[in-house]
């Protein structure tokens, strides 16, 4: 099966970088589809610079690997990022910010804790039971968090300023030259009125704006997938179209 050669030619990225392709596995977003991924290792010279270049080219990070979809017959996955400096929250998003004004964001070193893991297991059972991560043990979680060759932070969100205040949400976030890349988030599903998933994105946008960083990377958006619909609520949203980032239109 022929793969698009552009997957292995990334503008602005150092020559000689070796890419690999995974075997086909069932797509978690589109029925009756199979996914493949092109990936390369970040554990080499100047990993932060390489990670930034690959992120601009639509790659995502998982531990020490950068990957992007490499499906021969499908291009539904679109890389998206929020224009943080032009973002203006909607009325509903302002209400979400207000409902969570009691939360304290605390950046910590990317080191897995049992407290985080308990929250993750609760989240997976209630939101993604039967999914690919549902049987994740603490060792696997620690690998997801600890094994990073690039600048990464864990943002813990607690109900109070003390270190032992109740933990309600966590975001594993990479720090890029031009913003934040939200690698993975999870939260307490017993507090649905908080809309914690939305709140963490809004908080990252607000944090990026305060630092003068232009973007918050949200990973992949799939128009046909209801699970991905929430990403279009963060306007203006940019989509990677070939080698160029452009504004995603409301009617797309």
Looking at the fold, whether 59 and 151 belong to one and the same domain comes out as no
Question: Does 252 fall in a domain?
Answer: no
Looking at the fold, whether 154 and 201 belong to one and the same domain comes out as yes
What was the pLDDT predicted at 50? 93
Looking at the fold, whether 49 and 103 belong to one and the same domain comes out as no
Say if residue 90's pLDDT is above 80.
Answer: yes
What was the pLDDT predicted at 5? 43
Contact 155, 105 (CB under 8 A): yes
- Whole-model pTM: value is 0.92
Counting residues of the chain whose pLDDT is more than 90, the rounded percentage is 81
What is the CATH number for 87? 3.40.630.30
Under DSSP, is residue 107 helix (H, G, I), strand (E, B) or coil?
strand
Whole-number average pLDDT of the chain: 91
Question: Does 177 fall in a domain?
Answer: yes
Q: Are strands 215-221 and 237-241 parallel, antiparallel or unpaired?
A: unpaired
Counting residues of the chain whose pLDDT is more than 70, the rounded percentage is 92
Looking at the fold, whether 190 and 95 belong to one and the same domain comes out as yes
Say if residue 3's pLDDT is above 50.
Answer: no
**What is d(CA 202, CA 251) in angstroms, rounded to the nearest whole number?**
22
Query: No. of H helices and E strands in the chain?
Result: 5, 14
Say if residue 1's pLDDT is above 50.
Answer: no
Question: Does 186 fall in a domain?
Answer: yes
Question: pLDDT confidence of 192, banded at 50, 70, 90?
Answer: very high
Residues 136-157: pLDDT tens digits?
Answer: 999 999 999 999 999 999 999 9
Looking at the fold, whether 65 and 93 belong to one and the same domain comes out as no
Residues 6-27: pLDDT tens digits?
Answer: 444 555 555 568 889 999 999 9
């Amino acid at each position: 099966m022929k793969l698009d050669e552009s997957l292995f030619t990334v503008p602005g990225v150092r020559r000689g970088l070796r890419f690999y392709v995974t075997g086909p596995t069932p797509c978690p977003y589109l029925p009756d589809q199979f996914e493949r991924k092109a990936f390369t290792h970040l554990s080499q010279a100047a990993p932060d610079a390489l990670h930034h270049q690959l992120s601009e080219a639509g790659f995502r990070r998982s531990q020490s690997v950068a990957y992007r979809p490499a499906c021969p017959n499908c291009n539904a996955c679109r890389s998206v990022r929020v224009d943080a400096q032009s973002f203006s929250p909607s009325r509903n998003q302002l209400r979400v910010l207000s409902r969570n004004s009691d939360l304290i964001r605390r950046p910590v070193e990317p080191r897995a804790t049992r407290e985080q893991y308990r929250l993750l297991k609760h989240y997976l059972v209630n939101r993604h039971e039967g999914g690919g991560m549902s049987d994740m043990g603490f060792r696997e979680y620690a690998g997801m968090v600890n094994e990073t060759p690039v600048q990464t932070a864990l943002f813990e969100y607690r109900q109070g300023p003390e270190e032992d205040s109740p933990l309600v949400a966590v975001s594993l976030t990479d720090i890029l030259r031009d913003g934040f890349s939200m690698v993975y988030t999870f939260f307490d599903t017993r507090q649905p009125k908080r809309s914690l998933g939305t709140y963490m994105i809004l908080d990252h946008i607000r944090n990026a704006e305060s630092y003068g960083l232009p973007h918050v990377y949200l990973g992949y958006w799939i128009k046909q997938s209801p699970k991905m619909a929430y990403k279009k609520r963060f306007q203006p949203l940019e989509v990677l179209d070939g080698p160029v980032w452009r504004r995603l239109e409301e009617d797309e």
